[in-house]
Amino acid sequence: MDMGTTISPAVLILLGPPGAGKGTQARMLEERFGLVQLSTGDLLRAAVAAGTKAGKAAKAVMEAGELVSDQIVIDILRDRLSAADCANGVILDGFPRTTVQAQALDDLLAESRQQINTAISLDVDDAAMVKRISGRFTCGGCGEGFHDSFKPPVKDGVCDKCGSTDMKRRADDNAETVGARLEAYHAQTAPLIAYYGDKGVLKSIDAMGEIDTIAANMATLVDQATS
């Protein structure tokens, strides 16, 4: 690989499990670096709505109840990357998910003498993440958020703000579901972590700290990767 080639625009990949704050961090990168976050779902919807060649192909496949092929996603991505608003670079979210897709993405970028700048992995402590997510609950009366460990109501089961006792927990926020989600994430992502590690473009960020600290560390990484 020719590492001396000037890379522009920047192409970043964000890897992180649900609950790691990927959305928050991506928005920060958009604001600070003028990057555009591209998620697979948004890409597909936009291409279908715009009626591009690849969008029409995607629409036909989805209407038949089938999965959109990697090739169609790559074609949509090729169209999207050439749009004016992507001139500063993009953050890919949700693609690639497999090493086959990662290879296809590398081939696509090579067409325009580009390559991935950096793949950023938001690392979490699984046990702490389970505790963080499964402890959340919300007041059904006023919407105030609480947490079993980090922000319990002063009086057990009673909202500090409005006095309601109607506390709600999201069904999928229980420990088993969160644990299973993290396990699935690690199983799916491990090959990608290895793929980008081998290419020397993988960076890891501790995603368990304060949002501002994570954002600052992220900004430093992106600065290094894009300068």
For residue 15, what is the DSSP state?
E
Site for Zn ion contains 115 (CB under 5 A): no
CA distance 27 to 32: 9
Catalytically annotated residues: 22, 97, 136, 170, 181
Nearest residue (CB) to Zn ion, 158 versus 211: 158
Contact flag: residue 146 with Zn ion (CB under 5 A): no
The annotation status of 23 as a binding-site residue, yes or no, is yes
Structure tokens at 107: 């081939």
Q: How far apart are the C-alpha atoms of 216 and 218, rounded to whole Å?
A: 5
If one asks whether residue 216 binds Zn ion (CB under 5 A), the answer comes out as: no
Give which of 211, 225, 187 is closest to 11, Cα–Cα. Answer: 225
| 130: amino acid identity, one letter | V
Instruction: State yes or no: residue 141 binds Zn ion (CB under 5 A).
Output: yes
How near is the Cβ of 170 to Zn ion at its closest, in Å? 16
Spell 188-219 as b/e; 16+ CB within 10 A means b. eeeebbebbeeeebbbebebbeeeeebbebbe
Helix (H/G/I), strand (E/B), else coil: 146:
strand
28 or 159: CB nearest Zn ion: 159
Is residue 159 within the footprint of Zn ion (CB under 5 A)? yes
**170 annotated among ligand-binding-site residues:** yes
**What stretch of H or E contains 11?**
strand 10-15
Q: How many CB atoms lie under 10 A from the CB of residue 168?
A: 11
Q: Could you say whether residue 151 binds Zn ion (CB under 5 A)?
A: no
CB of 153 to Zn ion, least distance (A): 9
Out of 100, 162, 184, 216, which residue is the one contacting Zn ion (CB under 5 A)?
A: 162
Q: Does 144 bind Zn ion (CB under 5 A)?
A: yes
What's the DSSP call for residue 9? S
10-15: strand order across its sheet? 36-39, 89-93, 10-15, 118-123, 202-206
Q: Which is nearer to Zn ion, 52 or 138 (CB)?
A: 138
The residue within the footprint of Zn ion, chosen from 161, 168, 170, 186 (CB under 5 A), is: 161
Where is the binding site for AMP, in residues? 40, 45, 66-68, 94-97, 101, 170, 181
Where is the binding site for ATP, in residues? 19-24, 136, 209
Contacting residues toward Zn ion, per CB under 5 A: 139, 141-142, 144, 159, 161-162, 164
Where is the binding site, in residues? 19-24, 40, 45, 66-68, 94-97, 101, 136, 139, 142, 159, 162, 170, 181, 209
